[in-house]
Amino acid sequence: MAFAPLDPVLHNQLRLAVVSLLVGVESADFNYLLAHTGATRGNLSVQLNRLKAAGYINVKKTFRENYPNTSCSLTRKGLKAFETYVEVIKGYLDT
Amino acid sequence: MDQEMTPAQSMEVIHRMIVEAKQSAQRSNYYFLLWGMLFALAGLVDHVLHQQGITLHWLVWPAMGIIGTVGSSVHGAREGRRQGVMTMMDRVQMWLWIAFTVVLVLMIVLLVAKGLDPNPFVLVLTGMPTFITGMLMRFRPLMIGGLLFWVIGLTSAFVLPGYSSLIFSAGIVVGYIIPGLMLKRHEDGLRTT
């Protein structure tokens, strides 16, 4: 039996963790994602750029009390990709 | 956190992160306790000043309103920074209470202009966001607090009208302060688990 291919953008622990966090919230800032994923700043930054390039997340850079603040939220495309990924994973686990 | 994953590991990551996001719910007890204490005090002070024949007794209400607004805004901004996350529930609750405040102020202005005692109306209106917040948070003491606001608001319009400020204070104690204290204990428990 042939398995549906997994989305390579989401099939990465850190990117999947970020998208799974964003599914449950309206928006989350960089430090929140850092604290909850346990990633390094550099790696998180790279993976956020990958997700943004795929159109899965919106990244808004602002200043909060003179410090840069990066806020991320899931796009409709990102949510759809996540739902599809979960369905495919379920298919793998059910067989 | 960059290696290949098995399907089971993928599901484990998804599950763990969704649980993490759920645990980041905003703490609301501060607002109930702050506004509860300010307005319970306002009711008492208003009653005493009114009994003593001081005509500007009503000034205690806007004074407490200003203190509450400043306190809530500062705390909300600080909590937002600390939390670093906004959930749909946070947004719904924020706009529910902002809309309530607008209606509250407009209603008080209209009632006073028409020469009516606003206290029973304020209690009845306050029951609505309190009850809805209790329902959204699935926190029964707040739902009961909302129901008590409705009952006390309705009865205060007909019973002891000269004591409406004191009854208002009692309504705030059972509708805000007691559920607020229970919510604080509940939220402190969530934080330590």
Instruction: Give residue-wise pLDDT tens across range A33-86.
Output: 998 898 999 999 999 999 999 999 999 988 776 778 899 999 999 999 999 999
- Residues B12-71 pLDDT 10s: 888 888 877 766 556 788 999 999 999 999 999 999 998 898 888 889 989 999 999 999
Is A42 in the B-facing interface, judged by CB distances under 8 Å?
no
| Of B23, B88, B81, B74, the residue nearest A29 (C-alpha) | B81
More confident: B83 or A57 = A57
Q: What is the C-alpha radius of gyration for chain B, rounded to an integer number of angstroms? A: 20
Q: Provide, as residue numbers in chain B, all residues whose Cβ is less than 8 Å from the Cβ of A38.
A: 1
**Residue B86 and residue A27: Cβ atoms within 8 Å?**
yes
Of the listed ranges A52-56, A88-92, B105-109, B123-127, the least confidently predicted one is A88-92
Domain boundaries, chain A: 13-90
Q: What is the 3-state secondary structure (H, E, C) of B25-46?
A: CCCCHHHHHHHHHHHHHHHHHH
Q: What is the 3-state secondary structure (H, E, C) of chain B?
A: CCCCCCHHHHHHHHHHHHHHHHCCCCCCHHHHHHHHHHHHHHHHHHHHHHHCCCHHHHHHHHHHHHHHHHHHHHHHHHHHHHHCEECHHHHHHHHHHHHHHHHHHHHHHHHHHCCCCCHHHHHHHHHHHHHHHHHHHCCHHHHHHHHHHHHHHHHHCCCCHHHHHHHHHHHHHHHHHHHHHHHHHHHHHHHHC
Q: Provide, as residue numbers in chain B, all residues whose Cβ is less than 8 Å from the Cβ of A89.
A: 7, 10-11, 14
Query: Residue B2 pLDDT more than 60?
Result: no
More confident: B67 or A5 = B67
Residue type, A9: V
| Of A79, A14, A46, the residue nearest B9 (C-alpha) | A14
- Among B2, B4, B11, whose Cβ lies nearest the Cβ of A89? B11
Report the pLDDT averaged over residues A21-26. 89
Report the pLDDT averaged over residues B138-151. 93
Query: Residue A26 pLDDT more than 50?
Result: yes
Structure tokens at B126: 């306050």
d(CA B29, CA B177): 9
d(CA A40, CA A49): 14
**Residue B3 and residue A13: Cβ atoms within 8 Å?**
yes
Query: Residue B127 pLDDT more than 50?
Result: yes
Domain boundaries, chain B: 29-192
Structure confidence at residue B180 as a pLDDT band (50, 70, 90): very high
Report the pLDDT averaged over residues B144-154. 94
CATH topology of domain A13-90: Arc Repressor Mutant, subunit A (1.10.10)
d(CA A56, CA B133): 32
d(CA B147, CA B153): 10
Query: Residue B155 pLDDT more than 70?
Result: yes
CA dihedral B76, B79, B83, B85 (to 10 degrees): 0
Report the pLDDT averaged over residues B160-168. 83
How does the average pLDDT of chain B come out, rounded?
87
Q: Token pair 């098995």 is at which residue? A: B6
| pLDDT at res. A1 | 52
**Alpha carbon of A2: minimum distance to chain B alpha carbons (Å):** 15
| pLDDT at res. B193 | 47
**Alpha carbon of B17: minimum distance to chain A alpha carbons (Å):** 5
